Every structure is written in C-alpha cells, then in structure tokens.
Amino acid sequence: MRHHLRLFSALALLATLFAVGPLSSAQAKYAAIVVDADTGDVLFSRNADTRNYPASLTKMMTLYMAFEAIENGKLKLNQRLKVSRRAEGMAPSKLGLRRGQTIKAEDVILALVTKSANDAAVVMAEALGGTEIKFAQMMTKRARQLGMKRTTFKNASGLPNRGQLSTARDMSKLGKALMRDFPQYYSYFSTTRFTYNKRKYKNHNKLLSSYKGTDGIKTGYTRASGFNLVASVERNGRRLIGVVFGGRTGKSRDRHMKEILTKSFKRLPEIRSAAAKPPLPKRNPVRQSETTQIAVVTAPVTPTPRPASAIADTAIQTANLGTAAVLPKAPTGQWGIQVGAFNDFEKAQSIAKTALESLGERASFASTNVEPYAQQNKRIYRARIVGMNESYAREACQSLRAENITCLPVPPQG
C-alpha cells in the first residue's frame, strides 16, 4: 500500500511539474516604460530591461528596415514583391497571399501597420534579405546599432520563437528611431484603415481613436507574450513614447497604457523643456525617379547669415492653422531647417534653393547651406537653410510642409 502511495505521490508531483513548468516559462512578464521623446527622460518604468517576447512589435523593426531600403534606393514603394511558398504558409494574422503572386511594397507596409500581416512580413523579409533567417540577422545587427542591446530577432513577423526577445526600453528606442530617421514615412503608423483586394482592414491600435494625441505605432500579441503595445502621443508640443509588455487582455493593456501616459504628461512640468522638438511632416514618400534621398541626420549648423540691413519685418502664414505667426524683426540665429539629405551635391543644392525660394521675401536674411556627411561609409549632402532663430525655423517648416516639402528644424547642437 505504501509503495502504491509513494508511486502515486511521485506521479502527482511529476504531473504538477509538467503542468506548471511550461506555463511559467511561457507566461508573459509585465514591463512598461514611458519616455519623453525629445529629452530622453524616463517618466515611468517597471521592469524596463526585462527581456520578453516582442510578438508583432517585431514588425516595427521590419518596417525600419523597409524604410531604410527605400531611402538607400534598394526598394521602391511601387515595386512588386514576390510571394513565396513560405509567405503563403504563414499563420494568421495574414492577408491570405498566394504563392507566385506579387504585391506592392507600399501595400506590404500598410498591411504590417494595420493588419499586422505575417505573410506580408515574410514577403518584405525575403525581398530585402533573400531569406527570413538572413533578414532576421540583419534586423538584429541594425538593432544593436540603434542601441537596442538586449534585443535579438529570429524572424520578421514576431511569431513565437524562444530566441526572439526584447525589452520595453529597447522598443522605446526603436519607436524614437522610426520618428527620427524616417519622419516622411512615420505617418504610415497613423493609418486607421487599409484596403487590399477589396477587403478592408482596421488598425489594431485602438488608441488612435480613443486617446487624444496618439499617432502610432504598433500592437503585438502571442500567448507567450501577452498583449503588447508601443504608443506615441503628442500633446501641447510634447511627445511621449509608451511601451507595455504582457497585458492580460487588449482592453486592460490599452487602459494601463492610457493611465501611465496620463500620469507622465502630468509629470512633464517637472521635466526640462526639450531643446528642440522636430515636428513630424506629412507623408511625402521619396520616389526613386531621381537621385535617392537619404534619411535625415541632424548635426550642428554653420550659419552664413546675410547682413542685418537685409532683414525686414516678416510674417509667415501658418497654413495648417490659417493664421499669421508674426516673427521677430531680426530672426537671425544659430538655428536652421533641413529639407532633405541626398547622395548628390547638386541635387541637395537645388532642393535647398527651391525651398528658400518658396519662403520668398520672408527669408531674405537666410542662406542655403549644403553639408557633406558620412553615413554608413557613404557620403551624403544635407540640404539646409541657415541663419534663423528657433521660432522662425519652426514656422518656416510649417509653411514648407504645407507645400509638401519635407522639413525639420535643426537646433545649434543638432
């Protein structure tokens, strides 16, 4: 009898270990962070450096790689990408792509942002890396360069893989990098609906319609990860990036994100004002019909202002607001604006001149400045207009963006 009892107890213990072990190892771990996108100050943090499964937050990195390929001339928005057998066989969420067909790169981007389509992720991965495994290695390498030291990617979609791990802090860095490096493409993340093959897909990010100031960026979910979210919210000229890992439900995750963002916005008066807040321009994707435009890189401005005698009272009509913003009488200073970065000097010079002409008499005091810059072993040229103060630079960018000219204010120290 005792023998049977001991055997029963041993079997019960083994059963318990078997039941609990796998569950606990796959159980989502809560982590969260909120950072000021302009200053980098952390306003809220819980387990921010704990490695968790990113799930479809992975697609943020896939999109970063896609935007970079567009800027480097390796990919075009209207380029048709092939669908492989592997892409067709991916688990949902998916568009239902079929082997042998093609899909535009821009539709792949929109499918990743809204539907979080896994088949579309593989299409992009194979187009840029040859194989998804190779692409994942490229993603990891680029992540390290962005300062994401605790992140490893194994696929392009975020589908379960024990080796694919990231942290809340790393994902906040990726969110900031997407805005900083590709402002002309960031607005894809605010797309609320996407239509493909006559089917409409809604964006999974419910904060876009339920939390004031939200303009992106990505949700994620697997059983092992729980409900994840990276959100970017701008209010009163200040932008916060929030990250939540391991939500029990989508609703509770969204509710918690709103709570920590609201508390963080209330804390902002305690935090120093950002030295510069680069506004996000309207979507104006660069086409490769001419010299390829390179991602904007800010650096100290070397202004060459014209004589003060040429300065007159000016006002810029703020197109977005429909009102006139009166500028100082002598708006010279160490600020500038950047209207693009190119791999051709003449192209950069031409764009800078065109932008200055668009500002007309309102910028008679300013001058163009084309700066060479080494980026990833390539020489690029930044097209800038220099010799402004901060308020004029921001107003000038508003005016240029109303004319669909990409523009970012550049502070004296970048």
Q: CA–CA separation, 271 vs 229, rounded Å?
A: 24
CA distance 143 to 141: 5
| Residue 287: other Cβ atoms inside 10 A | 12
C-alpha 69/C-alpha 73 separation (Å) is 6
Which amino acid appears at position 14 of this protein?
A: L
Contact 382, 348 (CB under 8 A): yes
Catalytic residues: 56, 59, 116
CA atoms within 13 A on the CB side of 82: 9
Q: Is the link from the previous residue into 217 a cis peptide, with omega within 30 of 0?
A: yes
Give CB contacts under 8 A, 24+ apart, made by 77-82: 77/104, 77/105, 77/106, 77/109, 77/285, 77/287, 78/104, 78/105, 78/106, 79/104, 79/105, 80/104, 80/105, 81/105, 81/108, 81/123, 81/124, 81/127, 82/123, 82/126, 82/127
For residue 373, which amino acid is it? Y
Q: Is there a contact between 194 and 110 (Cβ–Cβ < 8 Å)?
A: yes
Tokens of 349: 């010079």
